[in-house]
Amino acid sequence: MNKFDFGIVGLGVMGRNLLLNIASHNFAAAGLDLDTEKVNSLQQEAGPDHTIEATTDVKHFVELIQQPRAIMLLVPAGKPVDSAIASLLPHLDKGDIIIDGGNTYFTDTDRRFLELSAKGIHFFGMGISGGEKGARFGPAMMPGGDQKAYERLRPIFEAIAAKVDGEPCVEYLGNGSAGNYVKMVHNGIEYGIMQLISEIYDLMKRGYNLDEDTIQKTFEEWNQTNDLKSYLIEITGKILKEKDEDGSRLINKISDWAKSKGTGKWTSQNAMDLQVPVPTIDAAVVMRDMSKTKPERIEAATKLVWNVAEKNTNTTEAIEALKSALYFSIIVTYAQGLAQLHTASKEYNYGLNLETVAKIWRGGCIIRANALEDFRKAFAAKKDLPNLLLDAGIASKLTQNQAGTRAVIQFAVQQGLPAAGLMNSLAYFDAYRSENLPTNLIQAQRDYFGAHTYERIDKTGVFHTQWSE
């Protein structure tokens, strides 16, 4: 008893694999699940090579773990988290640590942080990215909570995390719900990049009429380039290569009715609360919602017609332009998410270091990409950089890929193909680089119909005009 280094509640896919990962790094790990089958399955999988004990008994589970106890919850977000905490509390002592490793909305983490702090229990909200394989062999982890209590967790987390250049993809991020918030924005960026890739795929297929082999090999080749090498590009190449039982491409038999779990929506909603523009992420959320209108789209396709003009395609030039557009838009999407983190850190007193965030995201997580090293360097050079687009190196790369991006978007418009992610990325870029926006007219309109006042560029103060009818 009291000999185990770490405990996990919830032995589903993520919990089981994280427990095995921990044990593989020579830590003794205890598991708790109310499902006897999951407990027995884990014990069998662990075998004699891992120091693992799993149980269905809460009291016994808690007694296994050395003090101060470190216990991670890997249960569905919402009420199951509160229920798990309630079942543990009678058996815990002051100084023990509970970590929520699920995709929990950050305000719930703030509430639990305060409630448990009052009882002398440390609470962490920790985003984990990398899926089943990452959990087993090295995820990216984003912990937030009490910094002193993190020292109890550090050796285990650094051992099991993914590594890039020998550096673990985990580090203490900040106060309260900082970890859950960073994971939420990570997922928002993930939504954006997935949308962009799908639009480029659609333009290749329906726009430029490229054959399936060319499309698949293009993504495969792009993943070998410094600019686009990333996990999501990598798996796209693999997905497009997969064959169904009859030998045809599996991708062509998959429904376009996309699902979501809500983290992208949370990112958009909170960005609006903070008044931080993230239009590419917004577009990605909207297009998943649009995918659910399938019956209406089938009918609309026969009524909302656009006569596409004849086109002569130079395949080499088209692929080069598509590559530019994808790279450009992916960088802009990261910039939007990181700008949201910059503002949220100040609003919620997280104390985030965005160089650290970029460093964690370089490996293990779904949005890992070569480009994150450029972002890390940008934030290392200027710690309080409000937006990646202001970094000279990033700005130069965007400028170089501007022409191809504009050409691809013009082509999409001419072909009548939806490209909301690409278009919103370019619109964001053009708005951000505009010293003057036409919102002076909006100021005047608001004052005209609602006496909401406005500011002037030639005088200080707040003004109202009695507009002539």
* Residues with active-site annotation: 183, 190
- Using an 8 Å Cβ cutoff, are 366 and 188 in contact? no
The response to whether 446 counts as a known ligand-binding position is yes
Dist CA 419 CA 337 (whole Å): 20
The response to whether 129 counts as a known ligand-binding position is yes
CA distances from 86 to 29, 55, 58, 226, 361 (A): 21, 18, 11, 49, 33
Tokens of 365: 């997580």
> Alpha-carbon torsion 24, 27, 31, 36, what sign?
positive
Q: What order do you get walking across the sheet with 140-144 strand by strand?
A: 52-55, 29-32, 6-9, 70-73, 97-100, 122-129, 140-144
- Using an 8 Å Cβ cutoff, are 193 and 330 in contact? yes
The response to whether 459 counts as a known ligand-binding position is no
Q: Provide the angle, in degrees to the nearest 10, between the axes of the packed helices 315-347 and 392-400.
A: 150
Beta bridge partners of 127: 142
- Using an 8 Å Cβ cutoff, are 169 and 376 in contact? no
Q: Provide the angle, in degrees to the nearest 10, between the axes of the packed helices 371-381 and 315-347.
A: 40
The response to whether 436 counts as a known ligand-binding position is no
Nearest to 265 by CA among 351, 187, 354: 187
- Using an 8 Å Cβ cutoff, are 97 and 81 in contact? no
- Using an 8 Å Cβ cutoff, are 132 and 13 in contact? yes
The response to whether 130 counts as a known ligand-binding position is yes
The response to whether 261 counts as a known ligand-binding position is yes
The response to whether 288 counts as a known ligand-binding position is yes
Query: Can you list the positions of beta strands (E) in 21-151?
Result: 29-32, 52-55, 70-73, 97-100, 122-129, 140-144
The response to whether 191 counts as a known ligand-binding position is yes
Residue positions in the annotated binding site for substrate? 103, 129-131, 186-187, 191, 261, 288, 446, 452
Residue positions in the annotated binding site? 103, 129-131, 186-187, 191, 261, 288, 446, 452
